[in-house]
Amino acid sequence: ENTSSRLIMTFLLSLGSFLVAFSPSLSLLFTVVFPKPQLVILSITAAFFYLLSAFFSSLFWLPVPDGSAAKEGGIATLLALTIPSVIFQMAGRCSFVKLYFRVEGVIRRSVKRHEEETIAATHARNNDNRSHRSSNRNNDSTNNYDDDDDDEGSNDGDPHAETNALQLQLNDLSCSLSSGCGYALL
DSSP state, residue 34: T
Distance CA 176, CA 42 (A): 9
Stronger pLDDT, 6 or 145, i.e. the higher one = 6
Q: Which of 87, 97, 154, 101 is nearest to 127 (CA)?
A: 154
Q: 132-153 pLDDT, tens per residue? A: 666 655 555 554 444 444 444 4
Global model pTM greater than 0.85: no
Distance CA 30, CA 77 (A): 41
